[in-house]
Structure 1
Amino acid sequence: MSQVYIDENGAQIGTEGNRLTIKYRNGDVRSFPIETIESIIMMGKSQLTTQCMEKCMNKGIPVAFFSKGGKYFGRLMSSGHVKPELQRKQSALYDTDFAFELSRKIIKAKIQNQTVVLRRYAKSRDLDLLGLIVSMKSDIKHIDNVKNIPELMGYEGNSAKIYFKGLSQCVDDEFEFEGRSKRPPKDPFNSLISLGYSILMNNIYEVVEEKGLNPYFGFMHRDGENHPTLVSDLMEEWRAVLIDSTAMSLINGKEILRSNFYTDYENPGVFIDKDGLNIFISKLEMKLKTSVKYLKYVDYAVSFRRAIALQVMSLVKAIESQNPDEYEPIVIR
């Protein structure tokens, strides 16, 4: 199964028989057997035929819509996976001890994963960033004593600032950046990880939906209009593991260049071009297919993509039992 990315304006996506077809403005045509498609990601201004929409919904193939800069707009999906009873249980756990303890576990894992990524790249550049890493580990210890989610998120925000300060020292000089920027990203590095986070969000959203959970009923992130807060909760432990590490590998490995990014003066920000997008997607797909043994409750190697699915299923068990200890965030070494 594969994800199909359409990143060119003016493309027309339809079906012919049992195949998905993509017709580009220059006359090129690509097609894929419907049975091999896991999801479709549209980035930019393309057209989807009503026949294709119907086929995708009948086959359970979600279609996600993004801007060319990676901003998420929404998705086309069937309603075949909705589980009202599970969602009622999920909703009832908002603002409870369950929500707080689950959030604490996720943020501790997130910061720990950030320290591992930072240590790896500091070592590869022969840099001494021990002071920054010690500060982040101190935040992890303080989290054991916090009393509420706002206090928890304060430590998360502090560690994030330290982490990105460290990464900015590890990245190649031409990709140097000052802190995190988004909506719009102000530099190539932030452009790359913002795109990556959007793709990660889409991957997790699909699984959350497939398992019958409501993507908008989160535990840690506060309710917000058009914000799938549960997906944001589940993304936290994966950001450094999948997206930041992929971006650093591409940049420091000279696989992606400064020339793959451009400044859009009509919509201020820095964005990735088509070639850069293809490079990033290819690298990230390879990462998602990589087998690892980081899950504590599985004694065999699974791909990162499969690990995401297993984590969502673990959350379903935790919700059904109302026990946050049923959920173990991924922690890398």
Structure 2
Amino acid sequence: MQLLNTLYITTPESYLRLDNDTLRVELEREVRLRVPLHHLQAVVCFGHIALSAPLMHRLAEDSIALVLLDEHGRFKARLEGAQAGNVLLRRAQHLASLDADLSLELARSFVAGKIRNARSVLQRGAREAKLAAEAAQLTRLADDLAAGLRALPAAPDLNTVRGLEGEAARQYFAGLPWLVKTDLRADFAMQGRSRRPPRDRFNALISFLYALWMNDCRSALEAAGLDPQVGFLHALRPGRAALALDLMEEFRPFADRLALTLVNRQQLGAGDFVLREGGAVSLQPDARKAVLVAYQQRKQEEILHPLLAQPVPLGMVPLVQARLLARAIRGELEADGSRAGYLPFLAK
């Protein structure tokens, strides 16, 4: 497997065009960047970006995804070439989504991965806390998440699983502000999770990072031959990439960790955000670029995959998980003859 690059275009009024086998980025008629197409997996454009028709055709021919987001990172559209993947796998996926027992099993796995990884974030925060009272509070919240994990195997239906996930998220977000350094908490105060629009700086930051992870999870599912629209935990709705949302759940704490790093190391400050009328908060254009650079660097870091027992770049883990998910959906067998289940990626 090769970790290819995602090209993020954030400068308004940029113009992207095809130059032989190269993507060329121009601004005010000056060439700012050239990227060989064979190095790219996807091109992601934020806000008002123009593209030539020949470039769009070539991206589709080369199976390079073109993703259009608004300036805040919200999804607008996606251009792809001919449908890839194994039609038999997709049919198995569609049938699996109608199997209540299998859907419940997969939903439990997605939520278990999310809670385990979220608990790891709180436990690390408790170990690094300067004050005993804060360490105790974070430990208590981590214990509450453990209780939710223990309840998952007995959850009788999807609504119960979703309820456990929602309660775990509430407990987790109650603890997340304690992981911001004390002298930065006034600027990065957080009263629970808010989105559409984010109501504080930290929520604006994690919403942007979640959008990046969402795009990568969707691309991984398509590369594995799965239909990102047909999920198990998230309900099916027109226009919703339900399976991409399912897969993304276990990666949300990775986005939160990066957000905390950027804030606590003061790579982002209060001035890197725009506070708009009505209470909405968003990242400044230069701050978005800084986040994208940090995100790309984090994806290059190698981590030990517990199932593969070998180092894997973090950016490849969604594809590994998508392939494991495809294996579970197909009903492939383990060495002992049991049916393969889906094992979420668990952070160390």
- TM-score bucket (shorter structure): over 0.9
Displacement of 1:59 after TM fit? 1.1
The more displaced of 118-127 and 63-72 is 118-127
Q: Is the 8 A contact 2:109 2:343 kept in 1?
A: yes
Identity of aligned residues (%): 24
1:190 aligned to which of 203, 215, 218: 203
Q: Could you tell me whether the CA contact under 8 Å between 1:65 and 1:74 is conserved in 2?
A: yes
Following superposition, the deviation at residue 159 of structure 1 comes to 0.8
Other-structure match for 1:214: 227
- Equivalent position SS for 1:255: coil
Structure 1 residue 314 corresponds to structure 2 residue 324: yes
Matches within 5 A, 1:156-195: 156-171=165-180, 172-173=184-185, 174-195=187-208
CA distance, structure 1, for counterparts of residue 191 and residue 28 of structure 2: 39
What is the DSSP-based 3-state SS (H/G/I as helix, E as strand, rest coil) of the residue aligned with 1:216?
coil
Match of 2:75 in 1: 72
Q: How many matched pairs? A: 330
TM-score of the pair, normalised by structure 1: 0.95
1:149 matches 2:158: yes
Q: Distance in 1 between matches of 2:227 and 2:90?
A: 6
Q: RMSD between aligned alpha carbons?
A: 1.6
In the TM superposition, what is the alpha-carbon distance from 1:210 to its structure 2 partner? 1.7
SS in 1 for 2:94: helix
Give TM-score, length-normalised by structure 2: 0.91
Q: How far does residue 258 in structure 1 lie from its aligned partner after superposition? A: 1.0
Partner of 2:344: 329
Matched-pair contact (CA < 8 Å) for 2:273–2:281 = yes
Q: Secondary structure at the match of 1:301?
A: strand
CA contact (8 A) 2:331 2:340 kept: no
Q: Distance in 2 between matches of 1:95 and 1:9?
A: 44
Letter in 2 for 1:244: D
CA contact (8 A) 1:263 1:269 kept: yes
- Provide Cα deviations, 1:16-58, integer angstroms capped at 9, x if missing partner: 1221111124845221111212210001011111000011011
Helix, strand or coil for the counterpart of 1:93? helix
Instruction: Quote the Cα distance in structure 2 between the aligned partners of 1:268 and 1:12.
Output: 32
* Deviation string, structure 1 residues 77-108 (Cα, Å, up to 9, x no partner): 11241432211110111142111111112211
Question: In the TM superposition, what is the alpha-carbon distance from 1:268 to its structure 2 partner?
Answer: 5.5
Q: Is contact 2:85-2:226 (8 Å) kept?
A: yes
Quote the Cα distance in structure 1 between the aligned partners of 2:239 and 2:332: 26
Displacement of 1:295 in angstroms is: 2.8
1:221-276 CA deviation, whole Å, 9 max, x = no partner?
00112110000000011110x201000111011111111100233x8611101221
Judge which range, 129-138 or 223-232, deviates more.
129-138
Q: Which residue of 1 is the match for residue 97 of structure 2?
A: 94
Output the CA distance in 1 between the equivalents of 2:55 and 2:118. Answer: 41
User: What is the alpha-carbon distance in structure 1 between the residues aligned to residue 98 and residue 142 of structure 2?
Assistant: 31
Please list every run of 5 or more consecutive structure 2 residues that lacks an aligned counterpart in the other structure. 334-338
Residue type of the partner of 1:170? L
1:1-333 mapped onto 2 (5 Å cutoff): 1-25=4-28, 27=30, 29-96=32-99, 97-126=101-130, 127-128=134-135, 129-171=138-180, 172-173=184-185, 174-240=187-253, 242-265=254-277, 269-296=280-307, 298-321=308-331, 325-333=340-348
SS at match of 2:68: strand
The unaligned stretches of length 5 or more in structure 1 are: none
The Cα of 1:290 is off from its aligned counterpart by 1.0
Residues 95-144 of structure 1 deviation map (CA, whole Å, 9 limit, x = unaligned): 42111111112211211110111121233232222211111111111112
Contact 1:295–1:307 (CA<8 Å) still a contact in 2? Answer: no
Secondary structure of residue in 1 paired with 2:310: coil
